[in-house]
A and B are shown apart, each in its own frame.
Chain A
Amino acid sequence: MAMNQAEIERFIKEALPDAEVVINDLRGDGDHYAAYVKSASFVGKSRVQQHQMVYSALQGRMGNELHALALQTAVPDAE
């Protein structure tokens, strides 16, 4: 079972409400996505920890329903 774009975005925003989320359906097949997630909650975290936070927002779907989600995380520019 694939996940749709809006669903992925919803899960991420539920866990990281301030996040700026951009999702692309890479092949238009609902199964291979790229996501860019920018959130202040990533500040001070390693890349591995940032990605783990996004995976945890997806509640176990990554690697299961969600086969491929290329992930890029970022922190907002300092004010």
Chain B
Amino acid sequence: MSDNPVFDRIKSEVEGSDVVLFMKGTPVFPQCGFSASVVQVLNHMGANFKGINVLEDDSIRDGIKQYSNWPTIPQLYIKGEFVGGCDIIREMFETGELTQAFNDKGVALDA
């Protein structure tokens, strides 16, 4: 437990599922182009992920930026580790590094 209850909630979320995406809107209905773009990549790869809509909770929306020292949403976590925002995820997808990251962390992708 940390002194910050929001950090504790974030930590339990990112450790509670293999792949977690903090985003604006939901995986089915993203409300921001950057979030939509990461959802599209994950769906294309067949990655199962949990979407957390930061628009529903201001404390998470602010807290996640401090948690990762990252100023923007979306943010992708694999096995509890922050992997990147929209630019990095797209770049990693294009170079094949994202698939590699899933494999390295032992997270299965649907064929």
Contacts and interface: CB of A to CB of B under 8 A. Distances in A.
A47 B70 contact: no
B83 A55 contact: no
Contacts of B70: 48, 51-52, 55
Q: How large is the interface on B (under 10, 10 to 19, 20 to 34, 35 or more residues)?
A: 10 to 19
Interface in A27-70: 47-48, 51-52, 55, 60, 62-64, 68, 70
Query: Which size bracket describes the interface of A in this complex?
Result: 10 to 19
B3 to A, nearest CB: 22
B8 interface: no
A51 B87 contact: yes
B87 A71 contact: yes
B71 A48 contact: no
Given A52-B69, A68-B34, 5 more contacts: A47-B92, A48-B70, A51-B70, A62-B72, A64-B71
10 contacts: A47-B84, A47-B88, A48-B82, A48-B83, A48-B88, A51-B85, A51-B87, A55-B71, A62-B72, A70-B87
